[in-house]
Every structure is written in structure tokens, then in C-alpha cells.
Amino acid sequence: MSESRGIEAPWERWAVRFGVFLAMLILVAPGAWVVLTAFRPNIEVLARPAVWIPQNPTLDNFARLFGFSSEQQGLPVLQYFTNSLVISLTSTVVAVLIGMAGGYAFARFKFKGKGTMFLAFMLSRTVPGVALSLPLFIIWSRIGLIDTSWGLILVYLAVNIPFTIWLTDGFFRQIPQELSEAAQIDGCTRWQAFWTIEFPLARSGLASAGIFAFLTSWNEYALASQLTRTTASKTMPVGLMDFTAQFTVDWTGMSAMAVLIIIPALVLTFIVQKHLIAGLTFGGVK
């Protein structure tokens, strides 16, 4: 911090710089190496002794994934990608709408059983996905939701709603209640006051809640791996797992698929980073 700068010895400053450099290297290198691998021919990866600097950068791995290459690729990655996108987007939009209503109720109303209900929502989140997958598998197979996008969307709703409620409750509580009260005195209904005053103010918070919900669904594996069976509903993480099991030495192909999973995560991290910390801490501390 700046106030300690004056008494900081030069060696200390260099130690901090070195430490930061090392930490960032450890955080970035693994992902960067996978990205790099995605743009190399497989021969280069398998070469002995190791080739460190890419000699022949190529887009061939991605072409193979999407079936644009003469070389046959065994996995319908494009279909998995579409499934992932549809499932994650749908569950996100619905989870944010439902969670927003719930968060608003907790932030603005006093009602019987409020504390218990809030706790119950949060406790529902402690159930590990793997454990929940067992009974869901039993039920979904009996009512025909197994291996459907809707089956997975419904599950991700349940996973995302508690967290969305928690986040939006915090965001709504930060908006002074007087604002909507003033609008109501001026003749707005509570419904109008919400959409014209509180919703726009909470929009950034809702956006970050949405991004979290999206990433949770996009990244989820444990439930998806048991509740999907075919290309009808398999998602990218399940596809990546299949890939590693079937084509064990096609490291560049796997890396290319991994990159397709990373991209949304990276983009969204940049967008959400401003709201993340606020969202996570004020719910807990204040």
C-alpha cells in the first residue's frame, strides 16, 4: 500500500515484484500451455526431445473438431457446443428471473418464516451434485427427462436459484427503499416502481448474477455426465471427458476442445470482475 512505500527497502520492493511475478506465472501458465497446444500439430506435442516453441502453428485442430477437415473426427463437438449454449443460456435467464423475484422478496418484505426460508435455500446448495445425481437419475429415467435438454435445464435452475437469490437480495438491499416509495407516492404501482426504479439500479448486479449462473451451468460436469446419454443433450464438459477416454493421445484435439470451453469463461471474467467481489462479500459481512 502507498502509505508503507516510504519506509520500504529496495530489496523488499523487488521481493514483492518477484513474488507477484511467480504467482501470476503459476496462475497463467497451465491455461496458456493448453491454449498453445491447441494451435500445434500433434506430432510436435509427441516429439522427443520436447519442442518448446511452436514451429508450425495451425488451426487444423479446430477444423477437425467442427468436421471441416478431411481427417475424421469421432465426436460431434459442434452439437455438444450448441447443447451447452442452449442449456446454459435458458437456465440462466430463467434462474435470474426466478431468483430476482425471490431476492426482492427477501430484501423488501418482512414475512413469517423469512429466516428459515433463506437458510433452507442456502442449505439446498450444500447438496453435492454427485449425490443429487443418483436420485435425479432414478426419477428422470422414470418420467422421461433423462437425456433431454429440459431435464438438465431444470436441474441447473435448482443449482443456480439459491445463489442468485443470495446475490440479488444483497443488491436490492443496497438500493434505498425511499426511491421506490417516492415513485409510489407519485402514482406508480409497486410493479411499475420496481421496473422503472429498482430494476435499472440493480441491473449490473443482476448481470453478474447471470454470468455466475451461466458459468456454473457451462462448467458443470457431475450432474450432466449422469443425466445425459447421447448427442441429444451431452454438454461440452461431458464431451471433453469422452474425448480423453476415447482418443487418449490426441492432446492437440483435446486442447482445442478445452479452448472452446475456456473462451466464454475468459470473456465473462473480464465483464464480471468489477462486480464479483462486491457481490460475494456484502452478502456475508454486512
Among positions 202-261, residues that touch another protein (CB under 8 A) are 215, 218-222, 225-226, 237, 240-241, 244, 251, 254-255, 258, 261
Within residues 144-183, the interface with another protein by CB under 8 A covers 154-155, 157-158, 161-162, 165
Within residues 48-67, the interface with another protein by CB under 8 A covers 49-50, 52
Please pick, from the candidates 23, 43, 93, 179, the single residue that binds another protein as defined by CB under 8 A: 23
Give least dist CB 7 to another protein, A. Answer: 9
Q: Does 88 bind another protein (CB under 8 A)?
A: no
Report d(CA 239, CA 164) in Å as an integer.
Answer: 27
Please say whether the beta carbons of 214 and 89 come within 8 A: yes
Cβ proximity to another protein, 182 vs 263, nearer residue: 263
Residue in this structure with the C-alpha cell 500500500, named with its chain if needed: 1
**Segment contacting another protein (CB under 8 A): 23-31, 55-63, 171-179, 195-203?**
23-31
Cα→Cα distances 13→17, 22, 172, 226, Å? 6, 14, 42, 51
CB contact set of 241 (below 8 Å; sequence gap of 6+): 221, 225
Cα→Cα distances 44→28, 29, 35, 41, 258, Å? 22, 19, 14, 6, 18
Please pick, from the candidates 93, 101, 182, 232, the single residue that binds another protein as defined by CB under 8 A: 101
Q: Does 19 bind another protein (CB under 8 A)?
A: yes
Give least dist CB 158 to another protein, A. Answer: 4
Please say whether the beta carbons of 45 and 37 come within 8 A: yes
The site map against another protein for 107-146 (x = CB under 8 A) is -xx-x--x--x--xx-xxxxxxxxxxxxxxxxx-------
Cβ proximity to another protein, 78 vs 158, nearer residue: 158
**Segment contacting another protein (CB under 8 A): 64-72, 177-185, 202-210, 267-275?**
267-275
Cβ proximity to another protein, 71 vs 286, nearer residue: 286
Please say whether the beta carbons of 156 and 237 come within 8 A: no
The site map against another protein for 29-48 (x = CB under 8 A) is -xx-xx--x-------xx--
Cβ proximity to another protein, 89 vs 105, nearer residue: 105
Q: What does the buried/exposed string (b/e) look like for 133-155 if buried means 16 or more CB atoms within 10 Å of the residue's CB? A: beebeeebeeeebbbbbebbbbb
Q: What angle do CA 219, 223, 225 make, to 5 degrees?
A: 85
